Structure 1
Amino acid sequence: MVQTKWRILVKLSQAQFVEKEMTDNHERRPEPRKHSNLGRVAALGFGLIGVLIALAVATGRGASGAPNPPAHNSSVQLDEPSQVRATQSTTPAEQPLVDTDDLPTVDKLSRAFAAVASKLEPAVVNIFTEGTERARRPPSGTPLDDFFERFFRDQPEGQRRRSLGSGVIVDPRGYVITNNHVIENADEIEVRFSDQTRYQAEVIGTDPATDLAVLRIDADRTFAYVDFGSSENTMVGEWVLAMGNPFGFGHTVTAGIVSAKGRLIGQGSYDNFIQTDAAINPGNSGGPLVNMRGEIIGINSNIISSSGGNMGIGFAIPSDMTRKIYDQLVSVGKVTRGWLGVSIQNLTPDLARSFGLSGQKGAVISEILEPNGPAAKAGLEAGDIIVELNGVSIESNNHLVHIVADVRPDETVPVKFYRDGELRTTDVTMALRTIDANLTPEPPTQDRGRLGISGQNLSDELATELGASSAAGVVLMDIDQDGPGEDAGLRRGDIIIEANRQPVRNVDDLQRLIGEVPAGGDLLLRIERIVSGQQSSFLWIPVRLE
């Protein structure tokens, strides 16, 4: 009715405009003015009568409940309580931004959630572990705390440690995918189903670099399992379900959407997380993130929280990466990756401009790590900008790390790069990446030696990871509380490069020089200490040995 009145008012305005134009034209005619005035009065009178009649008709139809003509505007009409449909905009040629006519009702969406949760429930397991954890120093407040956080847990040495997590069966033979940190250092692993059935499980393989692990249930039977979906084809905004064992409450399902993809959260070289607002809490680690087809698109792994609980920001390892790791762990028990032998950084707009390039995609080689490494043998140099490897366009330095890792060691692939503004091509034969193994701490020992430390050789890869300038030495990975090293002021991450004025190239050198010091004698150490970022300081530290 309101729309009808509005159209009448528009018509009235148009009638007045036409009447005025007719009046103006009439005034220009050489007829007496009295005829013109009489015509205007008559036209105005008939117009008002027409308006009153139209309003009366429109009001009567509105009051009688008869349907009014549809309005052509951008309003939202509710056809049913459970459906929302956006009408077309002002012109017939324009289409709505989103066609919502075929969207499911709330009831249908609810039933879809329930169907996926019911289908996957037999294949999602709770994982309980028990093991012995070794000690580590409390955080020392240095820039390397985040780096060493990957290696140690806050548990006293010799104490039994119990943990809980989640997992998902991906093979009817009982293969389970979970997070490495769920089963790390576990002596016993128990897998518990939603019906409270329990089984022991063994570790098939782990990959700390991606925080993934594969278990096998010790049982002579087949199991329900879940298929992998494509994380690459998953879109931001899709509905997802997170399943697992939060806080040990048992089988739990939460819903949300994919908030973002390709997130870098500082967990390592292979950061590429799916972000979701589906509730993920402690205990959900290792459980699946699934789409509405009941397929795994991620393995829940991390949360960002100031309270320890869900704050709507959770992260899952993409299923495409998980599937590659799973296949290698099941087939050979370990993960192998290609290594190019370069240190790289992102191509920023400023760098691109300085190199005479207009694009911003690619990775800049900042350093050739080994003179006989794959990159050096292929003729690559510092300052080259890699834009394609093995037929894949490189988006960023992180992307290049992933593409290189997917290449098998000893496989030769083409590389496209810019040098001095010229696009060039070469072939590179990948080597075996060993940095991930180097970053894995040595097995804990009860005897840390007279210095009270555990360390490992400073490799080129580890030096790059730490930002160290020393070419050789021993990196302190852990320090005994109240030991001679800690009393003297040594810290995790310190690099011992000299002992009693003699060079320390490796662990053997350090042990030999310590053995030459008599009981109660002093050991004069020269160390490199990472201060911040790529900056270091060099210190002399005397240690009294027992």
Structure 2
Amino acid sequence: MKKIFSLVLVSALGGALTLGAYKLFLEPENKIEITADSNPSFLPTSNISNVFNSAAEAPDLTIAAENAVNAVVHVKNVTISTGQMTFQDLLLGRSPQRAQMGTGSGVIINSDGYIITNNHVINNSDKLTITLNNNKTYDAEIVGTDPKTDIALLKIDADEDLPYVTFADSDQARIGEWVLAVGNPFNLTSTVTAGIISAKARDLSGNSTQSFIQTDAAVNPGNSGGALVNTNGELIGINTAISSQTGSYIGYSFAVPSNIARRVIEDIMEYGYVQNGILGITGGALNSAAADELGVNDTEGIYVASVVEDSGADLAGILEGDIIKEIDRIKVSKFSDLTGHIGAKRVDDIVELKISRDGDLKTLKVKLTRNETLNLPLVGMVKNAKKEDLKSLNASNGVKIIELNKEYESYWKKNGVDEGAIITSINDVKINSVDDAQQAIKNKSTYEPLRIELINSKGEKERYNFR
């Protein structure tokens, strides 16, 4: 019996060894190869069902898109520029000219053919043409422009009532709200892209002069001047800029809020130019570092560093050191919150400010006034002089220095020039107002010296040349 068991065991062991040797040495090798499918299938990188449980929950953008597409136009700007002169041109006494064409978008805002767009879309144009969504083309005229806000108003004479979009209150637009950008990127007419509002009161300049609506709706060159609309198809912004290192869309776009755009075109239509109302303060937004430096407890709001004499803020009783917490019941956390809201207002409009003064909250009503101040290079802040200012120094005209440039303050004071001095002439141009001063600076060539004539606080006439 033991012999039989041993025989079975030896036979099994021999079979296992034989099979293993075959597998290891004799059986052909099967290699695994990874090949590319000539017709690969692509899967989406996001699953919409994770965001919306049903189609009924997804925002319906079709009506808004249809209305906006019909009210957004294609703008073509033809500019005649002087080309490089050749030897033949010189002999024949001719000046070579070359036509250059730029394109953008515009938004019809009433049935009579008024169109809003960006100033940079139509700047330096020799001819403007507008193409509607029905492919009809019209010549356009410029009604007015405002380079500061980059808004322009055009007019076409159509043979029919035109479709248009209505303005929404951009102050009521909310972060996270769905929006559509409608325009003509890369000459692809009637293009609609969707996204959400990513931020409000965004300043790209770094000096708190802008207040854009930021979205993640795709905007590219050619979209400028087009519409940013809400889900009702109402205009909440004019697409103006993108943030990009390549020149094309990489994630964020920016629009002038509709409240600002509306105020600009209303001023253009009523007065022919834009009237900018101001509070009359200087200052900056608070954070932990600024609060420590200023010795205040608040880390949110606008700290008032100074108040402009005779401005609305001055007349309303706002003081240096006040902290603005709200404007018209809208929370203020950065300076562009303030400037954006005021940018939508007109001269003589009244705004309600909630301020913190020594820890106590106060509410003040401020009437916005015309901007009568100017930051004059090398000099500092100047304002329109009152009759008594001129009379006290026996001056017949001029603007009053109200704050010296910090960098050159010691120089001016060493020469007897202080706050209260009257600047009477800039580069031999008689100055009666800050508008005159601004125009004189604008007209000065890059290499031309700055010549200033003034009457100092002692009543002495002086002349300064800066190169």
- Normalising by structure 1, what TM-score? 0.55
State the SS of the aligned residue for 2:56. Answer: coil
- Going from structure 1 to structure 2, the CA distance change for 1:291 and 1:414 (only over 3 Å counts) comes to closer
- 1:104 aligned partner: 56
- 1:69 aligned partner: none
Q: Distance in 1 between matches of 2:138 and 2:350?
A: 45
- Map 1:9-158 onto structure 2 (within 5 A): 84=49, 100-104=52-56, 112-113=60-61, 115-131=63-79
Per-residue deviation, 1:167: 0.6
Q: Distance in 2 between matches of 1:305 and 1:458?
A: 35
- 1:398 aligned partner: 336
Per-residue deviation, 1:222: 0.7
Q: Distance in 1 between matches of 2:366 and 2:48?
A: 57
- Going from structure 1 to structure 2, the CA distance change for 1:268 and 1:130 (only over 3 Å counts) comes to farther
Per-residue deviation, 1:459: 5.9
- 1:332 aligned partner: 271
Matched, 1:226 2:165: yes
Per-residue deviation, 1:160: 5.3
From 110, 114, 117, the counterpart of 1:178? 117
- 2:189 aligned partner: 250
**Post-superposition CA distance 1:47-79 (Å, at most 9, x none):** xxxxxxxxxxxxxxxxxxxxxxxxxxxxxxxxx
Per-residue deviation, 1:380: 3.8
Between 1:187-196 and 1:397-406, the stretch displaced more is 397-406
From 374, 379, 382, the counterpart of 1:460? 382
Per-residue deviation, 1:378: 4.4
- Going from structure 1 to structure 2, the CA distance change for 1:429 and 1:170 (only over 3 Å counts) comes to closer
Q: Which amino acid aligns with 1:402?
A: G
- Going from structure 1 to structure 2, the CA distance change for 1:435 and 1:246 (only over 3 Å counts) comes to farther
Matched, 1:387 2:319: no
**Rg comparison, structure with higher value:** 1
- Normalising by structure 2, what TM-score? 0.63
- Going from structure 1 to structure 2, the CA distance change for 1:408 and 1:240 (only over 3 Å counts) comes to closer
- Going from structure 1 to structure 2, the CA distance change for 1:468 and 1:456 (only over 3 Å counts) comes to closer
Q: Distance in 1 between matches of 2:134 and 2:348?
A: 48
Q: Percent identity?
A: 34
From 428, 433, 447, the counterpart of 2:371? 433
**Number of aligned positions between the proteins:** 362
- Map 1:206-355 onto structure 2 (within 5 A): 206-266=145-205, 269-352=208-291
- Map 1:446-457 onto structure 2 (within 5 A): none
Q: Structure 2 stretches of 5 or more lacking a match?
A: 1-46, 84-95, 384-400, 413-422, 428-439, 456-461
- Going from structure 1 to structure 2, the CA distance change for 1:291 and 1:404 (only over 3 Å counts) comes to closer
- 1:71 aligned partner: none
Per-residue deviation, 1:169: 1.0
Q: Which amino acid aligns with 1:284?
A: N
Q: Which amino acid aligns with 1:401?
A: T
Per-residue deviation, 1:224: 1.1
Q: Distance in 2 between matches of 1:469 and 1:159?
A: 46
Q: Which amino acid aligns with 1:460?
A: V
Q: Distance in 2 between matches of 1:411 and 1:279?
A: 36
State the superposition RMSD in angstroms: 4.4
State the SS of the aligned residue for 2:69. Answer: helix
Q: Distance in 2 between matches of 1:134 and 1:391?
A: 53
> Does the aligned pair in 2 maintain the 1:364–1:397 contact within 8 Å?
no
> Does the aligned pair in 2 maintain the 1:337–1:406 contact within 8 Å?
no
- Going from structure 1 to structure 2, the CA distance change for 1:175 and 1:467 (only over 3 Å counts) comes to farther
**Post-superposition CA distance 1:489-543 (Å, at most 9, x none):** x7xxxxx555xxxx5459xxxxxx99xxxxxxxxx9534xxxxxxxxxxxxxxxx
Q: Distance in 2 between matches of 1:212 and 1:468?
A: 34
> Does the aligned pair in 1 maintain the 2:210–2:340 contact within 8 Å?
no
- Map 1:483-502 onto structure 2 (within 5 A): 485=447, 496=449
Q: Which amino acid aligns with 1:385?
A: I
Q: Distance in 2 between matches of 1:468 and 1:161?
A: 44
- Going from structure 1 to structure 2, the CA distance change for 1:505 and 1:208 (only over 3 Å counts) comes to farther
> Does the aligned pair in 2 maintain the 1:126–1:191 contact within 8 Å?
yes
Q: Distance in 1 between matches of 2:354 and 2:82?
A: 47
Per-residue deviation, 1:413: 5.7
Per-residue deviation, 1:301: 0.4
- 1:409 aligned partner: 347
Q: Which amino acid aligns with 2:73?
A: V
